[in-house]
């Protein structure tokens, strides 16, 4: 049990030693703008843009090469004095609406998010209607004594029947089959 504690302590120590260095490795000082306000604005804009490589991270959070290039482009536009909307419009015109982490509210996004909800509601409604109609149907009429007798005779005979009479009308068993395969009874 002591070796398990030692292994856990070693892993925890390694993690605590390496993790801070990994988080600092993402920010490259050469990417940063000299003005802290402009840098904060560039980071805010970058947090709204999707990394086209990772697709579930912003360009500020991604370490992909394309994300690094896009961060540089955002900082160039901020340094030129463009406002946030102009930079976002430039990115959307260049890469399409997909570059936005949170796309603008439009008819297409309403359909994208609304169709699954609509499908679940329609499916639930169809299931409710189906079960209500099924429950409102009268139960089947009970069997007559003749039908019960016929059913009992069929179920009593069923395990003994190995095939239907239509398959081999004159065939009563393996001994009566033609060994030559010509289809004639012996």
> Do 74 and 82 form a contact (C-beta atoms < 8 A)?
no
> Do 49 and 100 form a contact (C-beta atoms < 8 A)?
yes
Alpha helices in the chain, H assignment, sequence order:
2-25, 36-46, 65-80, 84-95, 107-136, 145-157
Ramachandran sector of residue 96 (left: φ over 0; alpha: ψ -120 to 50; beta: rest):
left
Per the prediction, the chain carries an average pLDDT of: 80
Confidence of residue 138 (pLDDT cuts 50, 70, 90): confident
How does pLDDT run across 49-106, given as a tens digit for each residue? 999 898 788 998 888 889 899 999 999 999 999 999 999 999 999 998 888 888 777 7
Amino acid 36: pLDDT: 84
**pTM given for the model:** 0.47
Least Cα distance to 43 among 17, 3, 24, 70 occurs for: 70
Confidence of residue 44 (pLDDT cuts 50, 70, 90): very high
CATH architecture designation of domain 22-122: Orthogonal Bundle (1.10)
- Which residues, at least 6 apart from 64, have a Cβ–Cβ distance to it below 8 Å? 51, 53, 54
């Amino acid at each position: 049990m002591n070796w398990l504690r030692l292994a856990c302590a070693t892993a925890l120590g390694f993690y605590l030693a390496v993790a801070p260095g990994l988080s600092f490795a993402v920010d490259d000082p050469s990417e940063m703008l000299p003005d802290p306000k402009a840098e904060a604005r560039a980071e805010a804009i970058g947090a709204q843009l999707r990394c086209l490589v990772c697709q579930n991270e912003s360009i500020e959070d991604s370490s992909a090469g394309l994300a690094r290039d896009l961060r540089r482009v955002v900082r160039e536009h901020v340094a030129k004095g463009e406002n946030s909307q102009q930079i976002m419009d430039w990115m959307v015109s260049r890469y399409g609406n997909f570059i936005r982490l949170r796309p603008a509210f439009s008819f297409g996004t309403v359909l994208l998010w609304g169709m699954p909800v609509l499908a679940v509601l329609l499916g639930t409604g169809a299931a409710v209607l189906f079960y209500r109609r099924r429950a409102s149907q009268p139960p089947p009429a009970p069997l007559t004594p003749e039908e019960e007798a016929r059913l009992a005779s069929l179920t009593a005979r069923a395990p003994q029947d190995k095939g239907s009479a239509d398959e081999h009308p004159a065939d009563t068993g393996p001994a009566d089959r033609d060994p030559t395969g010509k289809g004639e009874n012996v």
